[in-house]
Structure 1
Amino acid sequence: MADTAAILAGLPKVAERTLDMGGLAEALSGAQQPFVVRGLAADWPLVKAGLAGPAELRDYLVGHARDRKFPVNIGQPGGGDRLFYNAAMDVNFRMAQGALDAILDGIIANADKRDAPVIYLSSLDVEAYFSGFGAANPMPLGQRQPITSVWIGNRTRIAAHNDVPDNLAVCAAGKRRFILFPPAQMANLYPGPLDNTPAGRPVSMVDLRDPDLDAYPGFAAALDHALVADLEPGDAIHIPSLWWHHVEGLSPFNVLVNYWWRDVPVYLGHPEDALYHAILAIRDLPAAARERWREQFEHYVFSGGEPATAHLPDAAQGVLAPLTADTAGQIKAKLLRGLSR
């Protein structure tokens, strides 16, 4: 087993940028590396409520909550802070619903208990669960129309995973630690199942607090490329698309607000749909057939498309030309017809 303290001490830190909210949208354009902005949201009322204490934070959140049940993940008392799988590869927490004030009271009541169960409200859609929250705590992202989510909980560890959209995550209350790995380290992180996940995304099977390098030897190579960021209230981190990130809530009461977006036209398809379709249609073919299809994908897709069109008149390129809403619609219609057979 590896020495976690030594691992963390040796990791380089995520680069920091000096920005205010006025310069954020431009800084995010085309950013391919993660970066931290200290104090970006320091003026948020939410951040100030968190700094005032748990009671003030609770009251602020409840004051903006809509009149509805809130979904919450609850671990076993004494089961630790890791939301993950059990030995049977079932998730090690149960899902429930309740009033936000009662859930937050439970977080506060368990603050000093060593065997406190995980209490975690994950990826709450801001508009669906809160009123006036976004307007009071703004994040100007230019023309982007992000999905805005709130994450609330006690001490938690979320296994390394990636997200398809770009991500801006704001530590609004408590403290958060992010350990990041570039997309090329995916195999060295030993992802779990695609279709049985703790929260909808495949997660690394490696326990970063106690990595077993005998079972997961490639993880040593992943660590050579890892970055760490410790965030205080008001700090933000940009995580580019498909970067892997392990996230820890380090305080008894933590709140994170994050923004997901894709800087691509809305008519383009979702890459993960193509991944599932390729598993369905290509992965289980004989090896020779897979290699032939690899050449097809390289020619039409991963090359950027130029080899497929350089010798064709513009008018004859059809869906091989840069996509428009119309030609994207033609492809979607063809796919729907094929999948319905």
Structure 2
Amino acid sequence: MAASPARVREIRGSRPDQLPLPELLAGGEPVVLRGLVDGWSLVQAGRDSARAAMDHLLEHYNGRPLPYSWGPPETRGRPFYQDGFTRLNTEARRGTLDAVLADIAAHLDDPSPPTHYVASVPVDGVLPGLRAANDLDFAAHGVEAPPAIWIGNRVTASCHYDAPDNIACCAVGRRRFTLFPPAQVHNLYPGPLEPTPGGQAVSVVDFDAPDLARYPRFAEALAHARVAELQAGDALFIPSMWWHHVQALEPFNVLVNYWWSSMPAWIPTPMHALYHAMWAIRDRPEREKQAWREIFEYYVFGPAERAGEHLPEPARGALGPMDETMARRMRAMLIARLNR
């Protein structure tokens, strides 16, 4: 890329059993946690060799088939779209981990190997026992954050955002992250909401060769970008809704990540509201849209207590704090109205 993005702030000396979660969440910006998982057995095996890391994974593998993406060498390690943005350039496959690892191993020295990408597979579902020597102690903070594993060769995950907060641990290989604050959505040229290479909309800009004639606002996004390069044993905190472009840099790479949300389970993903708003509001006349913008500012984006503070507490209903009982009522009401 033409610009030279700022480096992500670093913290050294953190340990898996002493996560600085309050500090990370209060800061609300990406942070590299250097050496956080240096002591993981998978990290140590990967430092010996790719083969040792593969063997270590297989020691814990329970034989269950898992999903992965496969693409021919022309994919260049970038699960993305074919021309027209209606079809993906990779195939969704299912297979055993030992077969996937054997395919990757057979092409470790190829300059243009086929793309193999096991993405976001729950660790406990396919690698029981791995966490015994490869885990972060979220439980000490009262947080439920089961890990997922990402395995592949030189794969690029196109720039996207995730709704939960995230700690991504580089276990084998190296990774480069390019991150953007949420406001840069206007300059990143998101692609279709579906299909997508990984479940979320991705930027359609090729970061290796950005076409600024076609996507001129991307130059402004680069002015706000931050970069983090992780070695095996390092981790990165990615705050909720920050866009991130992830490049795996070695012939074999493994990442373990933890997503978690501060919201209780009865609060649904805002993506449902986004789809509903596109359906109900986006195509209305501009003056109506502006009026609805003010309504949303009052009821949703302003202070949570504002809309009901002038009412007696028993009269507030949905304008009061959202608890599990009210969440159930609202869900039932929405389902009933949508099904009319």
TM-score, structure 2 as length reference: 0.95
8 Å contact kept, 1:213–1:219: yes
User: What is the DSSP-based 3-state SS (H/G/I as helix, E as strand, rest coil) of the residue aligned with 1:230?
Assistant: strand
Aligned to 1:17: 11
The alpha-carbon deviation at position 264 of structure 1 amounts to 1.4
Aligned to 1:94: 91
Map 1:246-261; keep pairs closer than 5 Å: 246-261=245-260
8 Å contact kept, 2:25–2:239: no
Q: Find 2:115's aligned residue among 118, 131, 141.
A: 118
Provide the rounded CA distance (Å) in 1 between the counterparts of 2:272 and 2:209.
Answer: 34
Q: Find 1:32's aligned residue among 1, 22, 28.
A: 28
Aligned residue identity for 1:196: P
Provide the rounded CA distance (Å) in 1 between the counterparts of 2:41 and 2:297.
Answer: 50
8 Å contact kept, 1:79–1:115: no
User: What is the DSSP-based 3-state SS (H/G/I as helix, E as strand, rest coil) of the residue aligned with 2:105?
Assistant: helix
Stretches of structure 1 that go unaligned for 5 or more consecutive residues are none
User: What is the DSSP-based 3-state SS (H/G/I as helix, E as strand, rest coil) of the residue aligned with 2:147?
Assistant: strand
Aligned to 2:228: 229
Provide the rounded CA distance (Å) in 2 between the counterparts of 1:133 and 1:277.
Answer: 40
Aligned to 2:280: 281
Aligned residue identity for 1:66: N
8 Å contact kept, 1:25–1:140: no
Provide the rounded CA distance (Å) in 2 between the counterparts of 1:75 and 1:321.
Answer: 50
8 Å contact kept, 2:169–2:235: yes
Provide the rounded CA distance (Å) in 2 between the counterparts of 1:276 and 1:31.
Answer: 30
The alpha-carbon deviation at position 307 of structure 1 amounts to 3.3
Stretches of structure 2 that go unaligned for 5 or more consecutive residues are none
8 Å contact kept, 1:299–1:305: no
The alpha-carbon deviation at position 327 of structure 1 amounts to 1.3
Q: Report % sequence identity.
A: 44
**Count of residues in correspondence between the two structures:** 335
User: What is the DSSP-based 3-state SS (H/G/I as helix, E as strand, rest coil) of the residue aligned with 1:279?
Assistant: helix
Map 1:1-341; keep pairs closer than 5 Å: 4=1, 6-7=2-3, 10-18=4-12, 19-21=14-16, 22-89=18-85, 90-141=87-138, 142-341=141-340
8 Å contact kept, 2:173–2:254: yes
Give the superposed CA RMSD.
1.3
The alpha-carbon deviation at position 228 of structure 1 amounts to 0.3
Aligned residue identity for 2:191: G
Q: Structure 1 26/299 Cα, relative in aligned 2: closer, same or farther at 3 Å?
A: closer
User: What is the DSSP-based 3-state SS (H/G/I as helix, E as strand, rest coil) of the residue aligned with 1:46?
Assistant: helix
Mean Cα deviation higher: 162-171 or 311-320: 311-320
Mean Cα deviation higher: 177-186 or 306-315: 306-315
Mean Cα deviation higher: 32-41 or 17-26: 17-26
